[in-house]
Protein backbone atom coordinates (compact mmCIF):
# COMPACT_ATOMS: atom_id res chain seq x y z
CA UNK A 1 0.00 0.00 0.00
CA UNK A 2 1.25 3.47 -0.92
CA UNK A 3 0.93 6.01 1.89
CA UNK A 4 1.25 9.01 -0.43
CA UNK A 5 -0.63 8.18 -3.68
CA UNK A 6 -0.19 10.68 -6.51
CA UNK A 7 -3.95 11.16 -6.88
CA UNK A 8 -4.12 12.52 -3.31
CA UNK A 9 -0.81 14.42 -3.39
CA UNK A 10 -0.73 16.00 -6.86
CA UNK A 11 -0.78 19.38 -5.09
CA UNK A 12 2.43 18.49 -3.25
CA UNK A 13 4.25 17.51 -6.46
CA UNK A 14 3.09 20.75 -8.08
CA UNK A 15 4.14 22.88 -5.10
CA UNK A 16 7.45 21.07 -4.65
CA UNK A 17 8.30 21.44 -8.34
CA UNK A 18 7.47 25.14 -8.16
CA UNK A 19 9.69 25.47 -5.09
CA UNK A 20 12.60 23.80 -6.93
CA UNK A 21 12.11 26.00 -10.00
CA UNK A 22 12.14 29.08 -7.74
CA UNK A 23 15.39 27.90 -6.12
CA UNK A 24 17.02 27.36 -9.51
CA UNK A 25 15.82 30.76 -10.76
CA UNK A 26 17.21 32.40 -7.61
CA UNK A 27 20.49 30.54 -8.07
CA UNK A 28 21.05 31.55 -11.70
CA UNK A 29 19.30 34.92 -11.63
CA UNK A 30 20.74 36.29 -8.39
CA UNK A 31 23.66 34.36 -6.91
CA UNK A 32 25.27 33.40 -10.24
CA UNK A 33 23.92 36.08 -12.53
CA UNK A 34 27.46 37.06 -13.40
CA UNK A 35 29.72 34.23 -14.52
CA UNK A 36 32.54 33.59 -12.07
CA UNK A 37 34.77 30.77 -10.89
CA UNK A 38 33.23 29.11 -7.84
CA UNK A 39 35.75 29.09 -5.01
CA UNK A 40 36.28 26.25 -2.55
CA UNK A 41 34.78 28.40 0.22
CA UNK A 42 31.69 29.28 -1.79
CA UNK A 43 31.19 25.64 -2.76
CA UNK A 44 31.52 24.62 0.89
CA UNK A 45 28.88 27.14 1.98
CA UNK A 46 26.45 26.04 -0.71
CA UNK A 47 27.05 22.38 0.11
CA UNK A 48 26.08 23.06 3.71
CA UNK A 49 23.00 24.98 2.52
CA UNK A 50 21.77 22.19 0.22
CA UNK A 51 22.42 19.44 2.77
CA UNK A 52 20.78 21.50 5.51
CA UNK A 53 17.75 22.07 3.29
CA UNK A 54 17.45 18.32 2.63
CA UNK A 55 17.67 17.50 6.34
CA UNK A 56 15.11 20.20 7.17
CA UNK A 57 12.75 18.71 4.61
CA UNK A 58 13.41 15.25 6.05
CA UNK A 59 12.38 16.45 9.52
CA UNK A 60 9.28 18.25 8.19
CA UNK A 61 8.31 15.19 6.16
CA UNK A 62 8.62 12.96 9.23
CA UNK A 63 6.48 15.35 11.29
CA UNK A 64 3.82 15.48 8.58
CA UNK A 65 3.80 11.69 8.22
CA UNK A 66 3.35 11.29 12.00
CA UNK A 67 0.46 13.77 11.95
CA UNK A 68 -1.16 12.21 8.89
CA UNK A 69 -0.84 8.57 9.92
CA UNK A 70 -2.36 9.24 13.35
CA UNK A 71 -5.49 10.74 11.72
CA UNK A 72 -6.02 8.69 8.57
CA UNK A 73 -9.00 6.34 9.15
CA UNK A 74 -8.03 4.24 6.12
CA UNK A 75 -4.66 3.43 7.68
CA UNK A 76 -5.90 3.07 11.26
CA UNK A 77 -8.24 0.29 10.13
CA UNK A 78 -5.28 -1.80 8.91
CA UNK A 79 -4.55 -4.55 11.49
CA UNK A 80 -1.25 -3.96 13.31
CA UNK A 81 -0.68 -0.51 11.82
CA UNK A 82 1.51 1.67 14.07
CA UNK A 83 1.44 5.38 13.11
CA UNK A 84 4.69 6.20 14.93
CA UNK A 85 6.59 3.25 13.45
CA UNK A 86 5.26 4.03 9.95
CA UNK A 87 6.24 7.70 10.14
CA UNK A 88 9.70 6.80 11.45
CA UNK A 89 10.05 4.32 8.58
CA UNK A 90 9.09 7.00 6.05
CA UNK A 91 11.60 9.46 7.52
CA UNK A 92 14.41 6.90 7.48
CA UNK A 93 13.56 5.87 3.92
CA UNK A 94 13.98 9.47 2.76
CA UNK A 95 17.28 9.83 4.63
CA UNK A 96 18.64 6.53 3.31
CA UNK A 97 17.51 7.32 -0.23
CA UNK A 98 19.16 10.74 -0.03
CA UNK A 99 22.43 9.23 1.21
CA UNK A 100 22.40 6.62 -1.58
CA UNK A 101 21.63 9.18 -4.30
CA UNK A 102 24.20 11.61 -2.92
CA UNK A 103 26.80 8.85 -2.85
CA UNK A 104 26.05 7.54 -6.33
CA UNK A 105 26.20 11.10 -7.67
CA UNK A 106 29.91 11.14 -6.82
CA UNK A 107 30.41 9.15 -10.02
CA UNK A 108 29.05 12.15 -11.92
CA UNK A 109 31.78 14.36 -10.45
CA UNK A 110 34.51 12.20 -11.98
CA UNK A 111 32.79 12.55 -15.37
CA UNK A 112 32.40 16.32 -14.97
CA UNK A 113 36.13 16.67 -14.35
CA UNK A 114 36.95 14.69 -17.51
CA UNK A 115 34.42 16.55 -19.67
CA UNK A 116 35.49 20.04 -18.58
CA UNK A 117 39.13 19.12 -19.09
CA UNK A 118 38.51 17.57 -22.51
CA UNK A 119 36.51 20.54 -23.86
CA UNK A 120 38.79 23.06 -22.09
CA UNK A 121 35.90 24.71 -20.23
CA UNK A 122 37.26 27.41 -17.91
CA UNK A 123 36.14 27.39 -14.27
CA UNK A 124 34.26 30.65 -14.86
CA UNK A 125 31.75 28.91 -17.18
CA UNK A 126 31.48 25.51 -15.52
CA UNK A 127 28.64 26.53 -13.21
CA UNK A 128 26.52 27.54 -16.21
CA UNK A 129 27.00 24.13 -17.85
CA UNK A 130 26.20 22.32 -14.61
CA UNK A 131 23.13 24.50 -13.96
CA UNK A 132 21.46 23.48 -17.22
CA UNK A 133 22.81 19.96 -16.80
CA UNK A 134 21.11 19.68 -13.42
CA UNK A 135 17.90 21.13 -14.87
CA UNK A 136 17.88 18.42 -17.55
CA UNK A 137 18.74 15.77 -14.96
CA UNK A 138 15.70 16.74 -12.87
CA UNK A 139 13.42 16.31 -15.89
CA UNK A 140 14.88 12.93 -16.88
CA UNK A 141 14.83 11.66 -13.28
CA UNK A 142 11.15 12.59 -12.97
CA UNK A 143 10.41 10.58 -16.13
CA UNK A 144 12.45 7.57 -14.93
CA UNK A 145 10.81 7.65 -11.49
CA UNK A 146 7.32 7.74 -13.03
CA UNK A 147 8.21 4.77 -15.25
CA UNK A 148 9.82 2.93 -12.33
CA UNK A 149 6.82 3.35 -10.04
CA UNK A 150 4.61 1.88 -12.77
CA UNK A 151 6.93 -0.98 -13.76
CA UNK A 152 7.87 -2.05 -10.23
CA UNK A 153 4.32 -3.22 -9.60
CA UNK A 154 5.41 -6.39 -11.42
CA UNK A 155 7.61 -8.83 -9.51
CA UNK A 156 9.67 -9.83 -12.54
CA UNK A 157 10.67 -6.19 -13.05
CA UNK A 158 11.87 -6.03 -9.44
CA UNK A 159 14.04 -9.11 -10.01
CA UNK A 160 15.32 -7.68 -13.30
CA UNK A 161 16.31 -4.34 -11.74
CA UNK A 162 17.86 -6.12 -8.76
CA UNK A 163 19.94 -8.34 -11.01
CA UNK A 164 20.98 -5.29 -13.06
CA UNK A 165 22.21 -3.52 -9.91
CA UNK A 166 24.17 -6.59 -8.77
CA UNK A 167 25.79 -7.05 -12.18
CA UNK A 168 26.63 -3.33 -12.38
CA UNK A 169 28.20 -3.45 -8.91
CA UNK A 170 30.27 -6.52 -9.73
CA UNK A 171 31.38 -5.00 -13.03
CA UNK A 172 32.35 -1.76 -11.29
CA UNK A 173 34.39 -3.69 -8.75
CA UNK A 174 36.36 -5.94 -11.12
CA UNK A 175 36.30 -4.29 -14.56
CA UNK A 176 39.41 -2.24 -15.47
CA UNK A 177 39.09 1.54 -15.61
CA UNK A 178 38.23 2.93 -19.04
CA UNK A 179 39.24 6.36 -20.24
CA UNK A 180 36.26 8.57 -21.05
CA UNK A 181 36.55 10.09 -24.51
CA UNK A 182 33.59 12.38 -25.35
CA UNK A 183 34.64 12.56 -29.00
CA UNK A 184 34.01 8.81 -29.34
CA UNK A 185 30.48 9.03 -27.92
CA UNK A 186 28.08 8.16 -30.78
CA UNK A 187 25.59 10.91 -29.87
CA UNK A 188 28.34 13.55 -29.79
CA UNK A 189 29.63 12.32 -33.17
CA UNK A 190 26.09 12.37 -34.59
CA UNK A 191 25.58 15.90 -33.27
CA UNK A 192 28.78 17.10 -34.94
CA UNK A 193 27.63 15.66 -38.28
CA UNK A 194 24.47 17.78 -38.33
CA UNK A 195 25.47 20.87 -36.33
CA UNK A 196 28.65 22.87 -37.02
CA UNK A 197 30.75 23.44 -33.90
CA UNK A 198 33.23 26.25 -33.31
CA UNK A 199 36.77 25.37 -32.32
CA UNK A 200 36.79 27.95 -29.51
CA UNK A 201 34.48 29.25 -26.82
CA UNK A 202 32.42 32.40 -27.25
CA UNK A 203 31.97 33.46 -23.66
CA UNK A 204 29.14 31.66 -21.89
CA UNK A 205 27.08 31.22 -25.07
CA UNK A 206 25.92 27.79 -26.21
CA UNK A 207 25.25 29.00 -29.76
CA UNK A 208 26.84 31.73 -31.84
CA UNK A 209 26.06 33.08 -35.32
CA UNK A 210 29.11 33.59 -37.53
CA UNK A 211 28.75 34.97 -41.07
CA UNK A 212 25.08 34.10 -41.08
CA UNK A 213 25.63 30.48 -39.96
CA UNK A 214 24.50 29.24 -36.54
CA UNK A 215 27.25 27.33 -34.73
CA UNK A 216 27.25 25.37 -31.49
CA UNK A 217 30.13 26.05 -29.12
CA UNK A 218 32.18 23.54 -27.11
CA UNK A 219 30.12 24.70 -24.10
CA UNK A 220 27.05 23.04 -25.65
CA UNK A 221 28.96 19.82 -26.35
CA UNK A 222 30.05 19.72 -22.72
CA UNK A 223 26.41 20.20 -21.63
CA UNK A 224 25.25 17.46 -24.01
CA UNK A 225 27.78 14.99 -22.63
CA UNK A 226 26.83 15.90 -19.03
CA UNK A 227 23.18 15.13 -19.87
CA UNK A 228 24.08 11.83 -21.54
CA UNK A 229 26.16 10.73 -18.57
CA UNK A 230 23.37 11.54 -16.11
CA UNK A 231 20.88 9.47 -18.09
CA UNK A 232 23.31 6.54 -17.94
CA UNK A 233 23.83 6.97 -14.20
CA UNK A 234 20.08 7.25 -13.61
CA UNK A 235 19.65 3.70 -14.94
CA UNK A 236 21.47 2.54 -11.79
CA UNK A 237 20.48 5.16 -9.23
CA UNK A 238 16.70 5.17 -9.73
CA UNK A 239 16.29 1.37 -9.30
CA UNK A 240 18.68 1.59 -6.33
CA UNK A 241 16.39 3.91 -4.38
CA UNK A 242 13.31 1.88 -5.34
CA UNK A 243 15.03 -1.00 -3.53
CA UNK A 244 14.82 1.12 -0.36
CA UNK A 245 11.29 2.48 -0.68
CA UNK A 246 8.24 2.01 -2.90
CA UNK A 247 6.95 5.52 -2.20
CA UNK A 248 7.33 7.59 -5.42
CA UNK A 249 7.15 10.79 -3.34
CA UNK A 250 10.20 9.76 -1.30
CA UNK A 251 12.07 8.63 -4.42
CA UNK A 252 11.35 11.91 -6.20
CA UNK A 253 12.15 14.30 -3.34
CA UNK A 254 15.33 12.54 -2.25
CA UNK A 255 16.54 12.47 -5.88
CA UNK A 256 15.83 16.16 -6.32
CA UNK A 257 17.68 17.21 -3.16
CA UNK A 258 20.67 15.03 -4.06
CA UNK A 259 20.83 16.50 -7.58
CA UNK A 260 20.41 20.10 -6.39
CA UNK A 261 23.54 19.79 -4.27
CA UNK A 262 25.57 18.13 -7.01
CA UNK A 263 27.01 21.37 -8.45
CA UNK A 264 28.40 22.63 -5.16
CA UNK A 265 29.70 19.13 -4.39
CA UNK A 266 31.55 19.14 -7.70
CA UNK A 267 33.26 22.47 -7.01
CA UNK A 268 34.09 21.26 -3.51
CA UNK A 269 35.68 17.96 -4.57
CA UNK A 270 36.82 18.46 -8.19
CA UNK A 271 40.36 19.26 -7.16
CA UNK A 272 40.60 16.15 -5.02
CA UNK A 273 38.94 13.43 -7.13
CA UNK A 274 42.19 11.47 -7.36
CA UNK A 275 42.16 11.16 -3.57
CA UNK A 276 39.06 8.92 -3.77
CA UNK A 277 40.66 6.08 -5.68
CA UNK A 278 38.92 3.36 -3.63
CA UNK A 279 35.48 4.98 -3.59
CA UNK A 280 34.36 2.96 -6.62
CA UNK A 281 34.57 -0.21 -4.51
CA UNK A 282 32.27 1.34 -1.93
CA UNK A 283 29.81 2.38 -4.63
CA UNK A 284 29.99 -1.12 -6.12
CA UNK A 285 29.19 -2.73 -2.76
CA UNK A 286 26.26 -0.35 -2.27
CA UNK A 287 24.83 -1.33 -5.66
CA UNK A 288 25.27 -5.03 -4.90
CA UNK A 289 23.61 -4.58 -1.50
CA UNK A 290 20.54 -2.74 -2.81
CA UNK A 291 20.30 -5.26 -5.65
CA UNK A 292 20.27 -8.08 -3.10
CA UNK A 293 17.53 -6.22 -1.21
CA UNK A 294 15.36 -6.31 -4.31
CA UNK A 295 15.90 -9.94 -5.28
CA UNK A 296 16.32 -11.60 -1.88
CA UNK A 297 16.68 -9.65 1.37
CA UNK A 298 13.26 -7.95 1.35
CA UNK A 299 11.48 -11.30 0.91
CA UNK A 300 13.75 -12.95 3.49
CA UNK A 301 12.69 -10.34 6.08
CA UNK A 302 8.95 -10.59 5.55
CA UNK A 303 8.72 -8.18 2.62
CA UNK A 304 10.89 -5.34 3.96
CA UNK A 305 14.52 -5.41 5.03
CA UNK A 306 14.84 -3.05 8.06
CA UNK A 307 15.55 0.45 6.75
CA UNK A 308 17.67 1.28 9.81
CA UNK A 309 20.00 -1.59 8.98
CA UNK A 310 20.14 -0.47 5.36
CA UNK A 311 21.18 3.05 6.39
CA UNK A 312 23.82 1.69 8.78
CA UNK A 313 25.29 -0.73 6.20
CA UNK A 314 25.38 1.85 3.40
CA UNK A 315 26.84 4.52 5.69
CA UNK A 316 29.55 2.17 6.94
CA UNK A 317 30.53 0.99 3.45
CA UNK A 318 30.81 4.53 2.06
CA UNK A 319 32.62 5.89 5.12
CA UNK A 320 35.10 2.99 5.04
CA UNK A 321 35.81 3.46 1.33
CA UNK A 322 36.36 7.21 1.79
CA UNK A 323 38.68 6.73 4.79
CA UNK A 324 40.67 4.00 3.03
CA UNK A 325 40.93 6.20 -0.09
CA UNK A 326 42.25 9.16 1.89
CA UNK A 327 44.73 7.00 3.78
CA UNK A 328 46.05 5.35 0.61
CA UNK A 329 46.50 8.71 -1.20
CA UNK A 330 47.45 10.97 1.72
CA UNK A 331 50.78 11.88 0.09
CA UNK A 332 49.14 13.27 -3.06
CA UNK A 333 48.66 17.05 -3.36
CA UNK A 334 45.14 18.49 -3.64
CA UNK A 335 44.44 21.06 -6.37
CA UNK A 336 41.43 23.10 -5.36
CA UNK A 337 39.56 25.15 -7.91
**pLDDT tens digits, the chain, 337 residues: what are they?**
689 989 999 999 999 999 998 988 888 777 777 777 888 888 899 999 999 999 999 999 999 999 999 998 888 888 888 999 999 999 999 999 999 999 888 778 888 888 888 888 998 999 889 989 988 988 998 999 999 888 888 889 999 999 999 999 999 888 777 677 787 888 888 888 899 999 889 988 999 999 889 999 999 999 999 998 888 888 878 888 998 998 999 999 999 999 999 989 898 888 777 788 888 899 999 999 999 999 999 888 887 889 999 999 999 999 999 899 888 877 665 554 4
Q: What is the pLDDT of residue 332?
A: 60
Whole-number Å distance between alpha carbons of 173 and 280: 7
Residue 115 CB contacts under 8 Å (≥ 6 apart), including other chains: 121, 180, 182, 222, 225, 226, 229
Helix (H, G, I), strand (E, B) or coil at 215: strand
Paired sense of beta strands 213-216 and 207-210, if any:
antiparallel
CB 123 within 8 A of CB 37: yes
What pLDDT is recorded for position 2? 82
Domain ranges of the chain: 6-164+176-273
298-303 long-range Cβ contacts below 8 angstroms, 24+ apart: 298/243
CB atoms within 10 A of CB 298: 18
Predicted local confidence at residue 335, as pLDDT: 54
- If 0-12 CB within 10 Å is exposed, 13-18 middle and 19+ buried, where does residue 320 land? middle
Give the per-residue pLDDT at 337.
44
Query: H or E stretch including 5?
Result: none
Burial state string for 61-84 with b = 16 or more CB within 10 A and e = fewer than 16: bbeebbebbeeeeebeeeeeeebe
The whole-angstrom separation of Cα 299 and Cα 176 is 34
Amino acid sequence: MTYFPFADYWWFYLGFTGFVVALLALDLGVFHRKAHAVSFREAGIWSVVWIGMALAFNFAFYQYAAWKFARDPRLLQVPGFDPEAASRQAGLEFLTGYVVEKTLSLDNIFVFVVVFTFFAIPAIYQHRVLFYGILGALIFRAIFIALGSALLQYQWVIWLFGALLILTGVKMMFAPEKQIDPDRNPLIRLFRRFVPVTSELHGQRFFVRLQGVLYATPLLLALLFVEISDIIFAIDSVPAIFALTREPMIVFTSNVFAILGLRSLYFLLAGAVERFALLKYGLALVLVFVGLKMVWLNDAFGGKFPIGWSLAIIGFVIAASVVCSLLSTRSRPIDNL
